Amino acid sequence: MVNKLVTDTAEMLEEKTASRKAVVHSTAYPEQAIGSPFVKNPKMSMRNVDVFYGEKQAIFNVNVDIGQNEVIAMIGPSGCGKSTFLRSINRMNDTVDSCRVKGELTLDGEDIYSAKMDPVALRARVGMVFQKPNPFPKSIYDNVSYGPRLHGLASRRAELDEIVEMSLHRAGLWEEVKDRLDQPGTGLSGGQQQRLCIARAIAISPEVILMDEPCSALDPIATAKIEELIAELSENYTIAIVTHSMQQAARVSHRTAYFHLGHLVEVNDTEKVFTAPEHELTEAYITGRFG
Amino acid sequence: MTESKQSHTAIIQRSLARRYRAEKRFRAYGLMAITFGLLCVALLFTDIISKGYKAFLQTSIQLNITYDADVLGISDLNNKQQVALADFQGLVKKSLQARFPDVTGRKEKRDLVSLVSSGAGYDLRDRLIANPQLLGNTETLWLSADDDIDTYYKSMGDENGAFTGRTSEMRQGWIETLKQDGDIKLGLNRVFFTHGDSREPEQAGIWGAAMGSLFTLIITLSLSFPIGVAAAVYLEEFAPRNRWTDLIEVNINNLAAVPSIIFGLLGLAIFINFFHVPRSVPLVGGLVLTLMTLPTIIISSRASIKAVPPSIREAAIGVGASPMQVVLHHVLPLAMPGMLTGAIIGMAQALGETAPLLMIGMVAFIVDIPGGFTEPATVLPVQIFLWADSPERAFVEKTSAAIMVLLAFLIMMNTLAVVLRKRLERRW
Amino acid sequence: MDKLNLDQHISRQFNEDLEEIKTSMLEMGGLVEMQVGDAIRALEDADSGLAEKVIEVESRIDEMEMDIDETCTTLIARRQPAASDLRLVTAVSKAIRDLERIGDEAQKIAKMAIHLAEEGVAPRGYTEVRHIGNCVRKMLNDSLDAFSRFDAEAAIATMKDDRQVDMDYKSALREMITYMMEDPRSISRSMNILWALRSLERIGDHAKNICEHVVYLVQGRDIRHRKLDGDS
- Residues with Cβ within 8 Å of A167's Cβ and at least 6 positions away in sequence, in order, are A144, A199, A200, A202, A203
Cβ separation of B428 and A121 shorter than 8 Å? no
C183 within domain boundaries = yes
Selection from A168, A270, A173, A171 nearest residue A229 by Cα:
A171
Largest alpha-carbon pair distance within chain B?
Answer: 117
- Distance from the B428 Cα atom to the nearest Cα atom in chain A, whole angstroms: 5
Taking the domain B207-424, which CATH number applies?
1.10.3720.10
Taking all residues of chain C, what is their mean pLDDT, rounded to a whole number? 86
Query: To 5 degrees, how large is the angle CA C27–CA C32–CA C38?
Result: 130
Phi/psi at A66 (5° precision):
-120, 125
Position A1 confidence tier, pLDDT thresholds 50, 70, 90:
very low
- Residues with Cβ within 8 Å of B424's Cβ and at least 6 positions away in sequence, in order, are B333, B336, B337, B340
CB B92 within 8 A of CB B121: yes
Cβ separation of A276 and C87 shorter than 8 Å? yes
CB B149 within 8 A of CB B115: yes
CB C102 within 8 A of CB C140: yes
Phi/psi at A137 (5° precision):
-75, 60
DSSP A237: S
Q: What is the pLDDT of residue C28?
A: 93
Cβ separation of C8 and A247 shorter than 8 Å? no
For chain A, which residues lie within 8 Å of any Cβ of chain B, measuring from their own Cβ?
90, 92, 95, 97, 120-121, 123-124, 127-130, 132, 134-137, 146-147, 150-151, 184, 186, 197, 200-201, 203-204
Rounded Cα gap, residues A37 and A35, in angstroms: 6
C118 within domain boundaries = yes
Q: What is the pLDDT of residue C128?
A: 81
Largest alpha-carbon pair distance within chain A?
Answer: 67
Rounded Cα gap, residues C114 and B113, in angstroms: 151
Selection from B144, B187, B212 nearest residue B56 by Cα:
B187
Which SS3 state, helix, strand or coil, does residue A49 take? Answer: strand
Q: What is the pLDDT of residue B427?
A: 54
Cβ-nearest to A247 among C80, C84, C86? C80
CB B321 within 8 A of CB A148: no
Q: What is the pLDDT of residue A22?
A: 47
- Distance from the C18 Cα atom to the nearest Cα atom in chain A, whole angstroms: 12
Q: What is the pLDDT of residue B3?
A: 60
Amino acid at B418: V
Residue C189: is its pLDDT beyond 70? yes
Cβ separation of C82 and A286 shorter than 8 Å? yes
pLDDT in tens, A154-171: 888 898 999 999 999 888
- CB atoms < 10 A from the CB of C163, how many? 13
Q: What is the pLDDT along chain B (428 residues), one digit of tens a residue?
A: 556 667 888 888 889 999 999 999 999 999 999 999 999 999 999 998 988 888 888 888 888 888 888 777 777 777 777 777 788 888 888 888 888 888 888 888 888 888 888 888 888 888 888 888 888 888 888 888 888 888 888 887 777 766 776 677 888 888 888 888 888 888 888 888 888 888 888 888 889 999 999 999 999 999 999 999 999 999 988 888 888 988 998 999 898 888 888 998 988 998 888 888 888 889 999 999 999 999 999 999 999 999 988 888 889 988 888 889 999 999 998 898 889 888 888 998 899 888 888 888 888 788 888 888 888 888 899 999 888 888 888 888 889 999 999 999 889 888 888 888 888 776 54
Q: What is the pLDDT of residue A19?
A: 41
Q: What is the pLDDT of residue C1?
A: 33
Rg, C-alpha atoms of chain B: 31
Q: What is the pLDDT of residue B199?
A: 83
CB B3 within 8 A of CB B11: no
Rounded Cα gap, residues C213 and C72, in angstroms: 15
Are β-strands A56-67 and A110-111 bridged in parallel, bridged antiparallel, or unpaired? unpaired
Rounded Cα gap, residues A274 and C185, in angstroms: 60
Cβ-nearest to B314 among A97, A130, A200? A130
CB C159 within 8 A of CB C140: no
Position C210 confidence tier, pLDDT thresholds 50, 70, 90:
very high
By C-alpha distance, the chain B residue nearest A187 is B428
Largest alpha-carbon pair distance within chain C?
Answer: 68
Range of the domain at C17: 12-219
Domains of chain A: 32-136+206-286 (3.40.50.300)
Rounded Cα gap, residues B320 and A124, in angstroms: 5
Query: To 5 degrees, how large is the angle CA B275–CA B279–CA B280?
Result: 140
Count of domains for chain C? 1
Position C43 confidence tier, pLDDT thresholds 50, 70, 90:
confident
Position C124 confidence tier, pLDDT thresholds 50, 70, 90:
low
- Distance from the C61 Cα atom to the nearest Cα atom in chain A, whole angstroms: 29
CB B206 within 8 A of CB B193: yes
Q: Which residues of A touch C221 (CB under 8 A)?
A: 17, 20, 276
Residue A69: which region, alpha, beta or left (left: phi > 0; alpha: psi -120 to 50)? left
Cβ separation of C83 and A283 shorter than 8 Å? yes
Rounded Cα gap, residues C176 and B217, in angstroms: 119
Q: Which residues of C touch A17 (CB under 8 A)?
A: 221, 229
- Distance from the A89 Cα atom to the nearest Cα atom in chain B, whole angstroms: 12
Chains contacting chain C through 3 or more C-beta pairs under 8 A: A
Which segment of A60-69, A188-197, B27-36, B99-108 scores lowest on mean pLDDT? B99-108
Taking all residues of chain A, what is their mean pLDDT, rounded to a whole number? 84
Strand partners, C146: none
- Distance from the C126 Cα atom to the nearest Cα atom in chain A, whole angstroms: 41
pLDDT in tens, C45-93: 888 899 999 999 999 999 999 999 999 999 988 888 888 889 999 999 9
CB A273 within 8 A of CB A34: no
Q: What is the pLDDT of residue B301?
A: 93
Q: What is the pLDDT of residue A14?
A: 43
Cβ separation of A128 and B318 shorter than 8 Å? yes
C43 within domain boundaries = yes
- Distance from the A27 Cα atom to the nearest Cα atom in chain C, whole angstroms: 13
- What are the angstrom distances between the C-alpha of B340 and each of A215, B416, C31? 37, 10, 83
Q: What is the pLDDT of residue B359?
A: 84
Residue A15: is its pLDDT beyond 50? no
Position C138 confidence tier, pLDDT thresholds 50, 70, 90:
very high
C123 within domain boundaries = yes
- CB atoms < 10 A from the CB of A273, how many? 29
Q: Which residues of C touch A245 (CB under 8 A)?
A: none
DSSP string, A92-136: GGGGSTTEEEEEEEEETTEETTSTTS-HHHHHHHEEEE-SS----
Position C231 confidence tier, pLDDT thresholds 50, 70, 90:
very low
Domain CATH code at residue C90: 1.20.58.220
Which SS3 state, helix, strand or coil, does residue A224 take? Answer: helix
Number of Cβ pairs < 8 A linking chain A and chain C: 54
Q: What is the pLDDT of residue C2?
A: 46
Number of Cβ pairs < 8 A linking chain A and chain B: 66
Locate the domains of chain B by residue range: 2-53, 56-199, 207-424
Amino acid at B124: L
Query: To 5 degrees, how large is the angle CA C113–CA C119–CA C122?
Result: 75
Cβ separation of A121 and B314 shorter than 8 Å? no
Q: What is the pLDDT of residue A3?
A: 45
Q: What is the pLDDT of residue B75?
A: 76
The three state secondary structure string of chain B is CHHHHHHHHHHHHHHHHHHHHHHHHHHHHHHHHHHHHHHHHHHHHHHHHHHHHHHHEEEEEEEEEECCHHHHCCCCCCCHHHHHHCCHHHHHHHHHHHHCCCCCCHHHHHHHHCCECCCHHHHHHHHHHHCHHHCCCEEEEEEEECHHHHHHHHCCCCCCCCCCCCCCHHHHHHHHHHHHHCCEEEEECHHHHHCCCCCCHHHCCCHHHHHHHHHHHHHHHHHHHHHHHHHHHHHHHHCCCCHHHHHHHHHHHHHCCCCHHHHHHHHHHHHHHHCCCCCCCHHHHHHHHHHHHHHHHHHHHHHHHHCCCHHHHHHHHHCCCCHHHHHHHHHHHHHHHHHHHHHHHHHHHHHCCCHHHHHCCCCCCCCCCCCCCCCCCCCHHHHHHHHHHCCCCHHHHHHHHHHHHHHHHHHHHHHHHHHHHHHHCCCC
Rounded Cα gap, residues C108 and C103, in angstroms: 9
CB A66 within 8 A of CB A238: yes
Residue A116: which region, alpha, beta or left (left: phi > 0; alpha: psi -120 to 50)? alpha
Q: What is the pLDDT of residue B187?
A: 84
How is the beta sheet containing B57-66 ordered, strand by strand?
A: B138-144, B57-66, B184-188
Q: Which residues of A touch B427 (CB under 8 A)?
A: 137, 184, 186
H/E segment holding residue C51: helix C48-79
Rounded Cα gap, residues A30 and A94, in angstroms: 29
Cβ separation of B320 and A137 shorter than 8 Å? no
Task: Calculate mean pLDDT across residues A116-131.
Answer: 89
Amino acid at A259: F
Which SS3 state, helix, strand or coil, does residue A24 take? Answer: strand
Residue A7: is its pLDDT beyond 60? no
- Distance from the C213 Cα atom to the nearest Cα atom in chain A, whole angstroms: 14
Cβ separation of A92 and B315 shorter than 8 Å? no
Q: What is the pLDDT of residue A16?
A: 42
- Residues with Cβ within 8 Å of B57's Cβ and at least 6 positions away in sequence, in order, are B154, B186, B187, B188, B189
For chain B, which residues lie within 8 Å of any Cβ of chain A, measuring from their own Cβ?
240-241, 309, 311-322, 325, 329-330, 334, 426-428
Cβ-nearest to A13 among C81, C219, C226? C226
Residue A4: is its pLDDT beyond 50? no
